[in-house]
Structure 1
Amino acid sequence: MNRDRKNNKLFALMAITATVIFWGYSFVSTKILLNDLPPVTIAFFRQVIAAVVLAVILYIKKLFVRMPAKDVFLLFASSFFGIVLYFLFENMGLKYTTASNGSIIVAAVPIFTLITESLFYKFKITSRVIVCVIISIIGVFLVIFEKGLDFSSGYTKGNLLMIGAMVTWVIYTIICKSLTGKYNGIVITAYQMAAASVLFIPLIIPEFKQWQSLSAYSLANLLYLALFCSALAYYLYNVAVKGLGATVSSMFLNLIPVVSIIGGVLVLGETVSFIQIGGMLLIMFSLIFVRQKY
């Protein structure tokens, strides 16, 4: 029994480590793909491929379910904010800013989700939460304006688009609260990706003229985003939550910006300043500090 428990915990640790690597490097892969494909097209094919894979899993495990009209509406709403708008902002943002910056800014999502949930669900905001929000905002500010307050620069534009991605994900999280208690997690994810694939169609039409043949390297990055970051990583994260608990698993996610920075430096030749590192550390500290309470 103890051996099985240790093996399960070891597998959970391996699962969360792989998840962090997959999601951390996704910013680098997207940056590479932007050389060959426009932003919306990347997001569209990433969702379509992942949706097909998850649909096969649902079929094999016989997990398909029918949803009432209200839940279908919530499903499409969550897909619109959490997938369509999120990846629209993220992919467009990564055209202008670095993979490192993108991951650092998005890392602040849990803090802002917590403060938003407190407003919607009326639970008390403690002084700890307020302090963490302030620290996180300072960290994000340092990263966004690391090169100064030049709103006309592409660099700042990219960072602000990443803020847009963060906001849409917070909205997505609030909407999903009504779905997560009713359905299996993999069912929700598969249905959301299928819905997003449909919602993306009118948005990719203007990009048709920008399509070009993909190199083997770019195709590999697209498949990596779809199969590993959208499909496999989700499964592995759920394995980790089951074996380690939600709190420990979420703590590991604080390492995602570290993976992105390493990948950005080694693969893309990006440089990282002390101000960026300082901003990242402030955000990570705020996440660790607030999760000691929640």
Structure 2
Amino acid sequence: MIRTYFILLICVSLWASNFIIASVLVEYVNSLTITIIRLVCIVLFLVLIGFRQIKLKLPTVKLWLLLMFAALLGVSINHYSFFKSMETTTPIVAAYILALTPITTGILNKMLFKEKKPRSFWLGSVLSFIGVIIIVSFKGEIHFTFGTGELFSVLTMMSFAGFLVCLQVLSKDMNSLTLTFSTVFFGLLFLLPFSSILQLTEIRNVESPILVLLVVSAILIHGLSNLVWNKEMPKVGASVGALFLNLEPLITIALSFIFLGDGISAVQIIGSVFVLCGIAVSLNFFNMQRSFSNSMN
């Protein structure tokens, strides 16, 4: 079991590193080009490792339309807005905004599927929202600031939450590999009309280390780590998996300090406490902790 925990921690660390890597890439390549190249790498990787398992068959037109919508929302919009946000915001701020995704997904499920939520969920949602407002609004300064980067981060979070809701429906008729491939493939197609040949050819002027970082990070972060997570997480359960996901903002802070030299202010620490406490309350942390302890025994 320790091996599984270690693997899950590596996956979360890779996802946290995506904030750092993105902040570096946007200094050399425009956001749209980064998004398209990454999606191409992911598509090729998925085809290479599992083309025999990919079966694009859906029983109804409605499901095909839902698949297209999921690809547009969770891949085209989500990936582009993520890299666009990193042009003007910090990895730490972006990570904490995206930490609201599970709560936002829960709210969408409540609205669309009438799922009942306990009071602890709503209390946690309020605490997390207050924490994100503190982190985003002040950024260690006294005056209120909320710019374009933060707006794109909110769009990234909202689009991914909507994407997860779509996946709940689509996963009943498609295996995980087919679903991942099809959403990435169609998401890539939706973005291509907005990219010019000139933009894509500009990549030739980018230094080789940056290109290697772009390609390798795409395969590791969005390809391999997702597949490994989907394989290992069921061994410990979704509740324990959620505990590991909550470590992502903290790992992002550590990586930002190590690789980018970013500090974190007292105001942001206070906001971080609100966010993490909110997530713990809304996801019923104490029941998860018991699940974690039981899985260790």
TM-score (norm 2): 0.88
Q: How many residues align?
A: 281
Shift of 1:285: 1.6
**Cα distance change, pair 262–216 in 1 and its aligned pair in 2 (3 A):** farther
Shift of 1:272: 1.3
How far apart, in 2, do the equivalents of 1:210 and 1:34 lie? Answer: 16
1:183 alignment partner, one of 168, 174, 177: 174
Equivalent in the alignment of 1:136:
128
1:120 alignment partner, one of 112, 115, 131: 112
Task: List per-residue Cα deviations over 1:156-188 (Å, max 9, x = no partner).
Answer: 321122111111112212222210122211221
How far apart, in 2, do the equivalents of 1:261 and 1:216 lie? Answer: 27
Code of the aligned partner of 1:67: L
1:149 alignment partner, one of 144, 151, 160: 144
Q: How does 1:41-60 map to 2 (within 5 A)?
A: 41-59=33-51
- Does residue 109 (structure 1) correspond to residue 104 (structure 2)? The answer is no
CA contact (8 A) 2:36 2:191 kept: yes
- Does residue 172 (structure 1) correspond to residue 163 (structure 2)? The answer is yes
How far apart, in 1, do the equivalents of 2:128 and 2:21 lie? Answer: 26
Code of the aligned partner of 1:92: K
Task: List per-residue Cα deviations over 1:69-116 (Å, max 9, x = no partner).
Answer: 333222221111111111222111110011111111101110111112
Equivalent in the alignment of 2:224:
232
Equivalent in the alignment of 2:184:
193
Equivalent in the alignment of 2:196:
205
How far apart, in 1, do the equivalents of 2:194 and 2:270 lie? Answer: 37
Code of the aligned partner of 1:180: S
Code of the aligned partner of 1:179: L
TM-score (norm 1): 0.89
Runs of 5+ in structure 2 lacking a partner?
289-297
CA contact (8 A) 2:33 2:200 kept: no
Q: How does 1:270-289 map to 2 (within 5 A)?
A: 270-289=262-281
- Does residue 83 (structure 1) correspond to residue 75 (structure 2)? The answer is yes
State the Cα RMSD in Å.
1.9
1:262 alignment partner, one of 254, 261, 270: 254
How far apart, in 1, do the equivalents of 2:195 and 2:255 lie? Answer: 28
Runs of 5+ in structure 1 lacking a partner?
1-8
CA contact (8 A) 1:79 1:193 kept: yes
**Cα distance change, pair 13–149 in 1 and its aligned pair in 2 (3 A):** same
Code of the aligned partner of 2:216: Y
> What percentage of residue pairs aligned between the two structures are identical?
20
How far apart, in 1, do the equivalents of 2:202 and 2:261 lie? Answer: 26
**Deviates further, 246-255 or 270-279:** 270-279
How far apart, in 2, do the equivalents of 1:207 and 1:132 lie? Answer: 47
